[in-house]
Amino acid sequence: MSALKDIKVLDLSRILAGPFGTQILADLGAEVWKVESPWGDDTRSWGPPFVGDESAYYLSANRGKKSIIVNLREERGQKIIKDLASKADIFVENFKVGNLARFGLDYTSLAEINPGLIYASVTGFGQTGPRAQEPGYDAALQGMTGIMSVTGEPDGGPTKVGAAWVDILTGLTSLIGILSALHEKSLSGKGQHIDVSLFDVGIACMANIAQSYLATGVSPGRIGNAHPQVAPYQDFRASDGDFMTAANNDDQFRRLCETIGLPNLAEDSRFTT
């Protein structure tokens, strides 16, 4: 796709949350420069599996990007980034709050060079607040934001979602902010600082589960593959294996009953809630 043709992105993020969002910018046609330290992105060594010398994990979040190695601890490296930022439309980073300011690469400094720059910061807990200086990882944030408390079987312990749920959703949320800022820039010519945190996204994505708690004061529990408000919306065991079904309304339930050869279940008083 070429929706973002001629848009230049400087990607100083690493691991997953930041890179996942910038990868989609590349998919949309933007020119994305992946900036890595001489030691490389952490995920380059995460494996197996590897594709040749490349980590499959690294490849999953860095498709379609160009690559450059810069040592930010050196003045030469800082100058390279400032020069690139002066020509960029978008700058993405996921350093701990304040780290890039030491190198003159924070939003305030780069906005003086390029007032139209869209600068996205992806952190554990945001730019302000009592935990702003703390790092954040998906596994820890899954525990903190509540998803583990409702994942797993009722008689089991808290369970982490298999995929890096918080990281991926944070990457998508940062992408929404960046695309919104691009639209604003097309109208006003101004850039802006986008502040996205793993914690905020994790809490927001608890959605109906969090709202149910706010409405009732009752903490939701683990119910396996079932749904707290809808049934049947879970896994069942059949003669040839397990399957998932989701019937969200009465019409879908009626058609499900017909499909499995038990149409009378749709009128059964036990299920007419």
Annotated catalytic residues are 167
Instruction: Return all residues near 253 (Cβ < 8 A) that are at least 6 apart.
Output: 232, 247, 266, 271
CA end-to-end distance (rounded Å), the chain = 47
CA distance 25 to 17: 13
Interatomic CA distance for residues 133 and 144, integer angstroms: 16
For residues 202, 140, 130 and 12, what is the CA-based torsion angle, rounded to 10 degrees? -80
What is d(CA 121, CA 127) in angstroms, rounded to the nearest whole number? 8
Return the closest-CA partner of residue 165 out of 136, 137, 142, 135: 142
* β-bridge pairing 31-36 and 8-11: parallel
Residue 9 neighbours by CB distance under 10 Å = 24
Token pair listed for 182: 């691009």
Of 120, 129, 70, the C-alpha closest to 95 is 120
